């Protein structure tokens, strides 16, 4: 439908999906980035707000626990008001805007006001939650029909408009939205109209999220099970024989770290890789950067070393950041990888080698032991009389320069970057720790644990981490944990993120 407007206003009604931020459509993500204003719901994952453009106005319009922050008519008026200001508005709605999302009502208000709009469909809760619970809504061995029904009709209705007889007869799958409060009435109505009491039922709470819970039963006992277990909204109710396929087809909540809250303490610009690995194993990841990477106080030492790069025999890199800052200064002097000329390169491990590969280079040497002592040992037979450049972090241990100097090398070790301790940790992390929603804290360097102790204070650190598993990437980091009074529960044989994840899986396996 084409609409007319006397300004550049436009409203996108975007289905955010049922919870997993990865389920937003490509078009939905694109429209988020075009908006001047984002109006979002309680059921739309906050992680999606990262797709809003910098400076966009963010307005929360959801409901929590039945308490209305805004009535629907107020949301309608808000969309019209913002659009009339000549702004592009993204209305981010949980699930799909046109499936129990009141998107139709919002569009009617926009039509009445002459505001153009676009609908961006989303994955509705019934489809997303059922899929993540391992329940196919249709299956030719069980049923070829499915019905989506509201479990919470408008309070103003004198009588139910739900066709209970039609839903109860036959073998079709029925999915009720927002029906937890009325679950006893829903099950009673289905049985009263002919649905067998032994019909399988599954409740899926927070479907597609790491917090997802599934409670299975039958029409005759599911309401009582939900009451006894304290199973609460938001949830969908799936009724039908297809529910029996869950035990065979479940995949999301059977992953090895599912339901485990894991705190990642890496720097914000480096946490993503580790977080992604953990999420693939099912973990609920909470990022808490305890390091911020900053340039050195002065570039003079590093710039001087770069200027005479051709005089060095070896360059040693022991971190991604050392590689990143070194090549940034190389570029600042109008040079590139060719300036390394005949220099041979040693890196501490495979991740640093990957950082080097971004510049078209392969290392000449990777020690078998991925730490400073391993670097010294690997260079033992070739370093006597050699000139070695070691761009380092300001908190780097003295193991490499001292060890190589003792072997007869001439070592230049300029500071390439600084590890800065953030003043605070993200809001919500303390609450998660206090509520015991964090099952494991991961430390990938001594700085991460030392900085967390500096931010929290040692006594508070020990109190908050009491009963929480501690995972350390290697012996140096473990020693730092132990010096602060923390018991290390997980330490991998190889000092890599993949090995640390594998060890976490073993630790949490039944």
Over residues 313-325, the pLDDT tens digits come to 999 999 999 999 9
Q: Assess contact for 151 and 183: CB atoms under 8 A.
A: yes
CB-count burial class (<10 Å; 0-12, 13-18, 19+) for 20: buried
Task: Return the number of other C-beta atoms located less than 10 Å from residue 266's C-beta.
Answer: 24
> Tell me: the pLDDT tens digits for 257-305?
999 999 999 876 677 889 999 999 999 999 999 988 899 999 999 999 9
367-371: long-range pairs with CB below 8 Å, 24+: 370/474, 370/494, 370/495, 370/496, 371/474, 371/475, 371/476, 371/495
Query: What pLDDT shows up at residue 3?
Result: 42
The pLDDT tens digits of the residues spanning 124-177 come to 999 999 999 999 999 999 998 999 999 876 555 656 788 899 888 877 999 999
pLDDT for res 424: 85
Q: Is the pLDDT of residue 86 over 90?
A: yes
pLDDT digits (tens, 9 = 90+) for 186-212: 999 999 999 999 999 999 999 999 999
CA pseudo-torsion sign 281, 283, 286, 288: negative
The answer to whether 455 and 423 are in contact (CB under 8 A) is yes
Give the CATH fold of the 294-419 domain. Answer: Rossmann fold (3.40.50)
Q: Could you give the CA distance from residue 410 to residue 481 in angstroms, rounded to a whole number?
A: 33
| Domain 261-291+422-508 and domain 294-419 have a common topology | yes
- Which tokens hold the place of 122? 């989303």
Pairing of strands 344-347, 392-393: unpaired
Q: pLDDT value at position 63?
A: 57
- The proportion of the chain whose per-residue pLDDT surpasses 90, expressed as a percent, equals 81
Select the CATH number that applies to the domain covering 261-291+422-508 from these four: 3.40.220.10, 3.40.50.970, 3.40.50.10090, 3.10.290.10: 3.40.50.10090
Which CATH number describes the domain made up of 127-249?
3.30.950.10
**pTM given for the model:** 0.78
Residue 4 has pLDDT above 70, yes or no: no
Which pLDDT value is given to residue 1? 40
Q: Point out the residues that are catalytic.
A: 41, 63, 178
What is the residue-wise DSSP string for 175-243? EEES-STTHHHHHHHHHHTT--TT-EEEEEESTTSTT-EEEEEETTTHHHHHHHHT--SSEEEEESGGG
pLDDT at 38 over 70: yes
Kindly indicate the confidence band of residue 453, based on its pLDDT and cuts at 50, 70 and 90. Answer: very high
pLDDT digits (tens, 9 = 90+) for 117-133: 999 999 999 999 999 99
What is the token pair recorded at 137? 């809504």
Tell me the helix, strand and coil percentages in the chain, rounded to 5. 35, 20, 45
The predicted structure's pLDDT at residue 159: 64
Domain 10-123 sits in CATH 3.30.479.30: no
Sketch the domain layout of the chain as residue ranges: 10-123, 127-249, 261-291+422-508, 294-419
């Amino acid at each position: 439908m084409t609409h007319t407007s006397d300004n550049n206003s436009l409203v996108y009604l975007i289905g955010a999906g049922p919870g997993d931020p990865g389920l937003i459509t490509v078009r939905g993500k694109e429209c988020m980035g075009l908006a001047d204003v984002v109006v979002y719901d309680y059921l739309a994952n906050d992680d999606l707000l990262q797709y809003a453009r910098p400076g966009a106005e963010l307005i929360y319009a959801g409901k929590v626990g039945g308490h209305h922050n805004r009535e629907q008519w107020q949301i309608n008026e808000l969309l019209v008001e913002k659009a009339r200001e000549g702004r592009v508005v993204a209305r981010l709605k949980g699930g799909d805007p046109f499936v129990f999302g009141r998107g139709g009502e919002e569009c009617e208000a926009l039509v009445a006001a002459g505001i153009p709009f676009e609908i961006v469909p989303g994955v509705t809760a019934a489809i997303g939650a059922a899929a993540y619970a391992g329940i196919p809504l249709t299956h030719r061995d069980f049923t070829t029909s499915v019905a989506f029904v509201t479990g919470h009709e408008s309070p103003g209705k004198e009588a139910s408009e739900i066709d209970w007889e039609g839903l109860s007869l036959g073998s079709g799958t029925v999915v009720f939205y927002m029906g937890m409060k009325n679950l006893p009435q829903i099950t009673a109505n289905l049985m009263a109209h002919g649905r067998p009491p032994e019909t399988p039922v599954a409740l899926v709470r927070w479907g597609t999220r790491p917090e997802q819970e599934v409670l299975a039963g039958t029409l005759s006992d599911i309401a009582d099970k939900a009451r006894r277990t304290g199973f609460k909204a938001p949830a969908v109710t799936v009724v039908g024989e297809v529910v029996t396929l869950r035990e065979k087809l479940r995949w999301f909540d059977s992953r090895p770290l599912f339901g485990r809250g894991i705190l990642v303490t890496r720097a914000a610009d480096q946490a993503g890789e580790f977080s992604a690995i953990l999420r693939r194993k099912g973990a609920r990841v909470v990022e808490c950067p305890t390091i911020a990477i900053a340039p050195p106080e002065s570039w003079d030492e590093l710039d001087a070393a770069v200027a005479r790069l051709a005089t060095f025999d070896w360059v040693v890199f022991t971190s991604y950041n050392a590689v990143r800052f070194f090549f940034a200064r190389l570029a600042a002097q109008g040079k590139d990888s060719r300036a390394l000329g005949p220099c041979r390169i040693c890196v501490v491990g495979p991740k640093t080698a990957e950082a080097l590969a971004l510049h078209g280079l392969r290392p000449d040497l990777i020690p078998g032991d991925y730490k400073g002592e391993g670097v010294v040992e690997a260079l033992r037979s070739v370093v006597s009389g050699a000139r070695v450049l070691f761009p380092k972090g300001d908190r780097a241990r003295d193991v490499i320069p001292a060890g190589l100097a003792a072997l007869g090398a001439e070592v230049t070790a300029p500071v390439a970057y600084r590890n800065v301790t953030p003043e605070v940790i993200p809001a919500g992390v303390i609450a998660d720790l206090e509520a015991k929603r964090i099952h494991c804290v991961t430390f990938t360097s001594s700085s991460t644990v030392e900085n967390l102790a500096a931010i929290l204070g040692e006594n508070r650190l020990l109190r908050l981490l009491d009963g929480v598993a501690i995972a350390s990437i290697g012996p140096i980091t473990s020693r730092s944990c132990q010096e602060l009074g923390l018991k290390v529960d997980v330490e991998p044989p190889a000092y890599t993120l993949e090995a640390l994840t594998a060890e976490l899986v073993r630790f949490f396996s039944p």
